[in-house]
Structure 1
Amino acid sequence: MVVLLFVCVVFQADYHWLAWPRAFAEAGTIGAIADWYAVVALFRHPLGLPIPHTAIIEQNQHRIAESLGSFVEDNFLTPEVIIGRLSGHDTAKAMAEWLVKPANSRAIADVVADSLPGLLDGIDDEDFAGFLDRLVIPQLRTLDLSRVAGNILKVVTDGNRHQPLLDHGLEALELWLTTNAGMLKAKFSAASRYTPAQLDAYIVSKFVEGVIALLHEVVANQDHELRRQFDEALQDLILQLQTSRTHRRFGKTLMRDCLRHFRNGRHASALLNHIRTRVVAEVHRKQSIVRSIAADVLVSLGESLGRSPAVQQKLNAWWLNRAHQLVVRYRRQISELITGVVKGWNAKEASRKIEAEIGRDLQYIRINGTFVGGIVGVLLHAVTLLLSG
């Protein structure tokens, strides 16, 4: 614009029509300088001169911080805005669909499993002992150990679930007899000093063989008489554990003695260390049961939630209510956080970063201001000619 103005001034005497581009250049130059000044004054002192009401962002950082915090609080962190945005999204259904995917549930399970060692390390031994004394031990004192044992046995025996355990026990007994046949012969010979050693060995061998053959029969025959007798004895034991006052008193006495021994022996620290060791070892295993169970539980939770629209509706309602409470409770703290962060910025550095971030748009402001000024200059020149004519 300055170059154009200079050319027009030099040649206007010879070319009178240059009065029009001269008017454009004069006003455009003024507009360019004015917009340059206005833009620069927002961020710093023009030409480094401490002109009043310049470097506006730098000089008014605290006021801008307060205004920004209040603006966010009043226009973004309102319950109406937050709940309005969240209510249009079925969060429970989305969460169910996300959890059903094994990879997602596994990712959450990995995070939980990886955090367990750190959580356990952060537990103080005395705090753990106090937790046991206040919450766990009082519950154990009132526990009906006899009835619990009876219920556990009942669950195990329902549907003949205990039969594989019985088979395993019979196989273990056979292995013990086979392994310790020599010891049995020695004991029998020591108890029967007046019989020949060969006869003792023969009797013990036949006895062991007979018992093993009987064990084979019991394992092979699911309806064997010994199985029936064992089941009857087990059912009778379950009934006694669930109903007998004698067993109940014995269970309470046993529990009381165990708890007294636990407290007197200060085993809380040892228990916590044992839990830490086992959890760390389990978490770092390649096929971790903790990770697998947690992932399976999350997948099952997602499937159950996906099949229950009523639960989804309740969960969404709870989530929106909770979000409303959080917004009401913490909106002021978030606003103060924004204000504090902005106040803590270095004023000059913040102003420079804002200017650099806006960048190209500031250049267009200057360019547009130049052309707008030039157009206004031409219009004013035209009006002047009309009024003077």
Structure 2
Amino acid sequence: MDGKLVRLRRMRATATCLFVAMIGLLLVCVVGQTAHPWLAWPRAFAEAGTVGAIADWYAVVALFRHPCGIPIPHTAIIPKNQQRIAESLGSFIEQNFLTPEVITARLSGFNAAEALAGWLAVRKNSAMLADGVADSLPRVLEGLDEQDVERMFNQLVIPRLRTLDVARVASQILDILTEGNRHQPLLDRGLRAAEAWLSANVERIKAKFSEASKFTPAPLDAYIVNKFVEGIVALMHEVVANPEHELRRQFDAAVQDLSGNLRTSAVYRRFGRQVLRDCIRHVEEGGYYRVLLEHIRAHVLADLGSGHSALREMLASTFISIGKGVASEPSIQHRLNAWWLDIAGLLVLRHRHQLSGLITDVVKGWDAEEVSAKLEAEIGRDLQYIRINGTFVGGMAGVLIHACVLLVAR
């Protein structure tokens, strides 16, 4: 601002000096015209130039203040009309700049999605963004309490759980497990676990068998139990060793039947809904929201406090993947840019009046003299050129008028 004021004062002094020079030339011409009639020509130039300089000085000064401090009507235009100027400025910006057509036309030539994707694809940028997100998590978690978590679950999670078809979901999970015989290793592990349990509990089985068969001798009971266990174990070995065993096919059929029943049976659907309702009631009555919040908070804080934060790395890698994915897919960029333009147009249409109102209120809140000083510092230098040009234009007009007068007089 100091540099602008210096340049303004310099131009103002130049225009004033030119005005004084016109007055000086006029005085010289008035005094010497009797002895030198040809001085009528520069006198006409000086007279008209002086009038032009005074008129333009008045016009320039009247914009910002009263000329010579005299409260002449229609002077100090800017300070007096600050409120109207503020409203007109806000309305002008709203009608000519803050329109969806102008904003979208201005932004449509810029591929914002590509620029953002390229920025995210750089690890340094994604790491910086991930650090910002990660550093904000402790404050977010500290600001949460048990009621916040409960409210979030009640509004977002539980309503969807209540409408969830558990039986159908279980059927889909079974279909995924049985696809490509993924369930066969589970059967093998189950058979080995059953074999280990039988081997470890032979004596308990014998005791139970003896209790149920009171009229047979103990050696016979032990023989029968041993043979039974050995037969079962041998059968399990056969099933494990033979991928085409009949029991495997029976197991596959049983799994498929169960999947079909889960998908179509009303009994299973009611049972699934009942189990889910019991689980929801158990969570609501058990006070698990506080435990869940404390668990998440402790793990997040511990991870962020470690030297190698998995959460930070996960966030950075996610941002990098998003950036590379969007950068390599022009169709995604096109959709994102279209979405961004729609959002921008909607925001402008919805909030442009508030934005123009903000500009109006800010300008209205300025001090009138300060506004005049700021505007004069910005455009006053150019206005001094008007004074200078007015002086020369007035002078040339005076010479032309003087020539016309002489021409008519002859």
Match of 1:293 in 2: 314
Q: Does the alignment pair 1:327 with 2:345?
A: no
Shift of 1:45: 1.4
Match of 1:130 in 2: 151
Deviates more, 1:61-70 or 1:105-114: 105-114
Shift of 1:125: 3.8
The one-letter code of the counterpart of 2:136 is S
After superposition, residues 4-15 of structure 1 pair within 5 angstroms as 4-15=25-36
Q: Note the alpha carbon deviations across 1:129-176, whole angstroms, 9 max, x for none.
A: 22223433555676969969x88x97xxx99xx9xxxxxxxxxxxxxx
Counterpart Cα distance in 1 of 2:386 and 2:291: 73
After superposition, residues 117-156 of structure 1 pair within 5 angstroms as 117-137=138-158
Counterpart Cα distance in 1 of 2:72 and 2:307: 70
Cα pair 2:41 2:399 within 8 Å, conserved: yes
Q: Does the alignment pair 1:26 with 2:47?
A: yes
Q: Does the alignment pair 1:347 with 2:356?
A: no
Shift of 1:106: 2.5
Counterpart Cα distance in 2 of 1:271 and 1:335: 47
Match of 1:87 in 2: 108
Counterpart Cα distance in 1 of 2:306 and 2:77: 61
Q: Does the alignment pair 1:55 with 2:76?
A: yes
Counterpart Cα distance in 2 of 1:51 and 1:285: 75
Q: Secondary structure at the match of 1:109?
A: helix
Counterpart Cα distance in 2 of 1:282 and 1:346: 54
Shift of 1:58: 0.9
Q: Secondary structure at the match of 2:75?
A: coil
Match of 1:371 in 2: 392
Counterpart Cα distance in 2 of 1:140 and 1:375: 90
TM-score by length of 1: 0.68
Q: Note the alpha carbon deviations across 1:10-29, whole angstroms, 9 max, x for none.
A: 22222222222221111111
1:118–1:8 distance in 2 versus 1, CA, 3 Å: farther
Deviates more, 1:136-145 or 1:329-338: 136-145
1:280–1:49 distance in 2 versus 1, CA, 3 Å: farther
The one-letter code of the counterpart of 2:28 is V
Match of 2:137 in 1: 116
Counterpart Cα distance in 1 of 2:350 and 2:379: 35
Percentage of identical aligned residues: 56
Deviates more, 1:369-378 or 1:250-259: 250-259
After superposition, residues 97-116 of structure 1 pair within 5 angstroms as 97-116=118-137
The one-letter code of the counterpart of 2:346 is Q
Counterpart Cα distance in 2 of 1:32 and 1:276: 77
1:272–1:50 distance in 2 versus 1, CA, 3 Å: farther
Shift of 1:334: 1.7
Match of 1:198 in 2: none
Counterpart Cα distance in 1 of 2:23 and 2:129: 66
The one-letter code of the counterpart of 2:41 is W
Match of 1:2 in 2: 23
After superposition, residues 260-271 of structure 1 pair within 5 angstroms as 262-271=283-292
Q: Does the alignment pair 1:68 with 2:66?
A: no
The one-letter code of the counterpart of 2:380 is G
Deviates more, 1:256-265 or 1:100-109: 256-265
Match of 1:43 in 2: 64
Q: Note the alpha carbon deviations across 1:237-280, whole angstroms, 9 max, x for none.
A: xx89x9799xx999999987876665445343454344345434
Shift of 1:82: 1.6
Shift of 1:54: 0.8
Counterpart Cα distance in 2 of 1:95 and 1:25: 65
Deviates more, 1:319-328 or 1:34-43: 319-328
Shift of 1:316: 2.3
1:320–1:283 distance in 2 versus 1, CA, 3 Å: same
1:6–1:272 distance in 2 versus 1, CA, 3 Å: farther
Choose from 307, 329, 335 the match for 1:314.
335
Match of 1:181 in 2: none
1:273–1:48 distance in 2 versus 1, CA, 3 Å: farther
1:363–1:122 distance in 2 versus 1, CA, 3 Å: farther
TM-score by length of 2: 0.64
1:304–1:348 distance in 2 versus 1, CA, 3 Å: same
The one-letter code of the counterpart of 2:56 is D
Counterpart Cα distance in 1 of 2:132 and 2:88: 40
Counterpart Cα distance in 2 of 1:249 and 1:113: 43
Q: Note the alpha carbon deviations across 1:263-298, whole angstroms, 9 max, x for none.
A: 445343454344345434544555332222222112
Counterpart Cα distance in 1 of 2:54 and 2:391: 8
1:370–1:263 distance in 2 versus 1, CA, 3 Å: same
Unpaired segments ≥5 residues, structure 1? 163-224, 230-235
Cα pair 2:145 2:293 within 8 Å, conserved: no
Q: Secondary structure at the match of 1:360?
A: helix
Deviates more, 1:294-303 or 1:85-94: 85-94
Q: Secondary structure at the match of 2:287?
A: coil
Unpaired segments ≥5 residues, structure 2? 1-21, 186-236, 242-250, 263-268
Counterpart Cα distance in 2 of 1:32 and 1:124: 75
The one-letter code of the counterpart of 2:377 is A
The one-letter code of the counterpart of 1:31 is G
1:4–1:287 distance in 2 versus 1, CA, 3 Å: farther
Q: Note the alpha carbon deviations across 1:362-381, whole angstroms, 9 max, x for none.
A: 22122111111111111111
Q: Does the alignment pair 1:336 with 2:357?
A: yes
